[in-house]
Structures are given as C-alpha cells and as structure tokens.
Amino acid sequence: MKMKHWEHPEHYFGKTYYEYYVFLGQSRDSEPLEQSNFNVALDRLGGESETVIVARSWRTHWMCGWIEVILVHESDEEHIDIANDILDELDEYPVLDDDDFRMREDELEEEET
C-alpha cells in the first residue's frame, strides 16, 4: 500500500495539508494496536520535524472526540519511502512492535481491573 495525498474532508474547516501525504492515524477510541503502530511508526520516522507532522483535531470530531494523523511532506522523499515501507510491512503483519503492543494491552487490562 502506498500513501495518498491529503484530501479536504467534507465539513472540515481547519488547516489544509494539500502538500502532504497521509500516513497513519489514531483517535480517542483507538485500541492498543492502533496506538502502538502510530507511535512506533512516528518513532521510525524520527518523530515530528519540518516535514513530518502530526495534525491534531481536538474535541472537534463528533464521533471520535479527537484524531491525530501523521503527515509527510511531498518534498521529503526519504521519509515517504520509510512510511511506504512501513505500510508494506503492515500489509504482511499487523504489528510493528510486538513488545510495545503487548505493553499497551497489559496497561489497558490493568486499567480495566
């Protein structure tokens, strides 16, 4: 799978990101797997920078409360390649880091008890 350029969502009134590719996202309701993959992928990209950003929409989405999306600027070929490789990896196996994922599952289980 390859990333696609950001598109203007219907009923969206925030900042636009036409020059960015959409990589991965998470929301208030994300499960441990999505949270883990989001954070591990962002770490593999070296965190946020001038060309790798996390677009955040807080308390603005009626369905999921907040969302975060990792975006990579179209000029950053190195990080585009890394992100696309990560997406290919996720096509083969849904977990980027088994230890991180298990830790998040354990934390959730402890919170629920």
The tens place of each residue's pLDDT in the chain, 113 residues long, gives 699 999 887 777 778 899 999 999 999 889 999 999 999 999 999 999 999 999 987 655 566 578 899 999 999 999 999 999 999 999 999 999 999 999 999 998 888 77
pTM of the predicted model as reported, rounded to 2 decimal places: 0.87
d(CA 98, CA 92): 14
